[in-house]
Structure 1
Amino acid sequence: MNVFSSFRVRNRSRDRSTDENRFESLRRFINRLESEAARELDGLRKRYDQVSADAAFASVAEENEGGEAEGSSRISALTETIMNYADRVKHLERQLAYFRQLEQDVLVAAQEIMYPVSDEKHSADR
């Protein structure tokens, strides 16, 4: 009785293709995360520019019209908003840098750990 008669090994090309598809899925997922962060950053920068302009106009109006309590509180609120935006921008920029580096790391790792198509690399690992 042959114990190994039902044991079959898949084709190397098929295994390599499976590995490539897996890493490509990971790369696409990382790209999706990067795109989401980039869109958020773009929208945030547009709102940041608008709030900065509003703060500048409010400051000029306060200088021209004197220090009204309403104007001062509006400027304080806009200043706080600008500081919050700046903090979020900093974090989004760090995320984008991380996602870009992660994609490069995945590409390098994929080449090192994907199943080889030829037996040459496989033999060198033994």
Structure 2
Amino acid sequence: MALFSFRTRNPERDRQSDATRLQSIKRAIRDAVVEAERERDGFRRRYEDAAVNAAFSFENMQNEGETEEASAQVDDLTQALTRFSQRIGFLEKQMAFMQEIDEAIIRFEKANGIGQIDPKSDLATVSRVPTTVYSKYMTARLFEGSEAPLNHACIRVHESTESIVAAS
């Protein structure tokens, strides 16, 4: 009779817990990148509008003579262009930083065997991604870091878990 009896967790369950935790971080990062892209695109549109208005105002000022009002408008538009340009630059820095973090997580997963397909399993989770991620980003990132051969793999998204799975 054993004096001490205890059960340990299944290593596959531990690996899945680790993968889920890291995927949660990656999902948050990717959502933040999408948000920053939208904000940057909005600032780009406003920048283009302000640049056109500044050009017309400056041309009008040259054709009709410089007035205090026209000069003030060109100055305001110039300041707006500077602010828009700075904000666009900072958003691009943020996106690059977040993508570096995402890539670091992918390297960590690969180095530690997290999120890779178990060759013994017929169906293994590859990556957990939100269904709102753009397909071009998913396509580029979906199997990055996976060493498992996925030729002719069947890919499908499970709506209940938002998991992408590969059937070998």
Return closer, same or farther for 1:3/1:35 CA change in 2, 3 Å cut-off: farther
Aligned residues: 116
Counterparts in 2 of 1:72 and 1:99: CA distance versus 1, 3 Å: same
Write out aligned runs for 1:50-69 (5 A): 50-69=49-68
Per-residue deviation at 1:109?
1.1
Letter in 1 for 2:111: E
Give the whole-Å Cα distance in 2 for the aligned partners of 1:42 and 1:3: 66
Give the percent of matched residue pairs that are identical in Structure 1 and Structure 2. Answer: 34
Q: String of CA shifts for 1:34-80, please: whole Å, max 9, x gaps.
A: 11111100010001000000000000000011011000000000000
Structure 1 residue 3 displacement after superposition? 5.2
Q: What residue ranges of structure 1 are gaps of 5+ in the alignment?
A: 118-126
Q: Tell me whether 1:110 sits opposite 2:117 in the alignment.
A: no
1:89 is aligned to 88
Aligned partners of 1:19 and 1:114 also within 8 Å: no
**Greater share of helix:** 1
| TM-score calculated relative to the size of structure 2 | 0.64
Alignment check: 8 A CA contact 1:20 1:114 kept:
no
Q: After the TM superposition, which of the residue ranges 79-88 and 104-113 deviates more from structure 2?
A: 104-113
Q: Match of 1:33?
A: 32
Tell me the SS of whatever aligns to 1:4.
coil
Q: Which has the higher strand share?
A: 2
The alignment's TM-score, normalised by the length of structure 1, stands at: 0.85
Which is higher, the Rg of structure 1 or of structure 2? Answer: 1
* SS of aligned partner of 2:7: coil
Look up the equivalent residue of 1:91 and give its one-letter code: F
Q: What per-residue deviation string (whole Å, max 9, x for no partner) do you get for residues 67-120 of structure 1? A: 110000000000000001111111011111111111100111123346797xxx
Aligned AA (2:37): A
> Which consecutive residues of structure 2, in runs of 5 or more, have no partner in the other structure?
119-168
- Give, as a single letter, the amino acid of the residue that structure 2 aligns with 1:45: R
Aligned residue number for residue 4 of structure 1? 4
Alpha-carbon distance in structure 1 between the residues aligned to 2:89 and 2:35: 15
